[in-house]
Structure 1
Amino acid sequence: MSTTVPHTRSPAHAPEPTAADACGPDVLADLQRQIGRQWLVWYGHHTRHWWAMPRPPYPWFGLVEGRTPADLPARVREVQAYYGPSRGMR
């Protein structure tokens, strides 16, 4: 297995988060549904970014960062495209 990791950070030209990007239970629940339960999703109040990490036994271990709620699933899809779909979760 390669140790090369796909680029998972947001581009520098991405817009700054706005009040519409604020964390809330509905936003988190929607992100979790979009990404799937193979990934753990949260909002970093200090960083003001959205985060996800795959649960074992996913073949990659790391953090994925998104500047907005819409950005996070795109970053997760990049990892999934590189490592393949999640396995082991029903």
Structure 2
Amino acid sequence: MIRHIVLFKFKDGVSWDDPRAQEAERVAAKVGDEVPELHEWTFGRNISTRPIAHDFAVIGLMDDEEALERYLVHPFHQEAIRLWREISDWVIADLEE
């Protein structure tokens, strides 16, 4: 199993009041329903106020690296990436379980 973790940090001038951030969150919430490779999908706003904290996270669980590759190119996931790319930078980790 592969656990895919992404942490998003808003670019300067972007906050949750921005309609683009709200749309990115709305689409991210649906990724788990739209991408069949995902067995689990967790997402949410970070509640930490520490300066090092990121603003949003997603965590997905899939079978293997082949499933991860299919997830990465899935059209709905690509739409989510497009929205987040406009407003944030992110880091990822893919953990083998």
TM-score by length of 1: 0.32
Considering fraction of residues, name the structure with more strand.
Answer: 2
Q: Which structure exhibits the higher relative contact order, with contacts defined as CA atoms closer than 8 Å and separated by 6 or more residues?
A: 2
Greater helix fraction, Structure 1 or Structure 2: 2
Question: TM-score scaled to structure 2, two decimals?
Answer: 0.31
